[in-house]
Structure 1
Amino acid sequence: MTTALTLTTDSGVLTAAGEIDMSNAETFATALATAVTATDGSRLVVDLRSVEYLDSAGLAALFAQADHIEVRTGPLLAPLLEISGLAGLTTVHQT
């Protein structure tokens, strides 16, 4: 059973909780693009600390916005972001 994806945006931070996979990656990508546009040139902080699963479709959404985001993550996703190369394209803060 998958955990539903919850997305909230507040003051330049997009917070995701649950699982990001091919079933909801388009929703995540749309929310990400909308939030990036709303920052008016500032970097959007994408908080993934409450994401329990991130597949390649979710990674693709992050890669598409790598020039416009910073990522907060916990120890679960940090290795994935490093191995995928995303950490080399944008700032990743592990907390």
Structure 2
Amino acid sequence: MTAKFTGRDEDGVLTVTVVGEVDFANAGELEAEFGAAGARVVVDLHRATYLDSAGLRVLFAQARDRRLELVLQKGNAVEQVVTLSGLTGVAATRYG
């Protein structure tokens, strides 16, 4: 997995882009990317290929602490996991 801070927009909103798999072994890397986040953060998951419960835990925690927006790819496995977990009920979503 590659999770990287990819910048801030003109309003100071942090974007974190995830590529590949997020699982128990690397969910801490994803969590570390949120250290500089403000009240709102965008997580671009449209290039993520796998997301397990450890990754979901990180994203639910972020949704609890700030306004979280997820960018998903329609119909892929990550979008299905995010939807089934209920994360779409606590985080804004859009498709990229």
**What is the TM-score of this pair, normalised by structure 2?**
0.81
Letter in 2 for 1:86: L
Show the counterpart of 1:14: 16
Q: Which runs of 5+ in 1 are unaligned?
A: none
Q: Deviation string for 1:28-56 (max 9, x for gaps)?
A: 11213x142xx3x2x11000111011001
Q: Separation in 2 of the partners of 1:51 and 1:90?
A: 17
Q: Does 1:49 align with 2:51?
A: no
Native 8 Å contact 1:21 1:57 kept in 2:
yes
Q: Separation in 2 of the partners of 1:20 and 1:35?
A: 20
Native 8 Å contact 2:3 2:29 kept in 1:
no
Native 8 Å contact 1:66 1:90 kept in 2:
yes
Q: Separation in 1 of the partners of 2:83 and 2:20?
A: 20
Q: Separation in 1 of the partners of 2:47 and 2:25?
A: 18
Task: Say which is worse superposed, 19-28 or 74-83, in terms of deviation.
Answer: 74-83
Q: Which runs of 5+ in 2 are unaligned?
A: 9-13
Match of 2:24, SS state, is coil
Equivalent pairs, count: 86
Identity %: 35
**What is the TM-score of this pair, normalised by structure 1?**
0.82
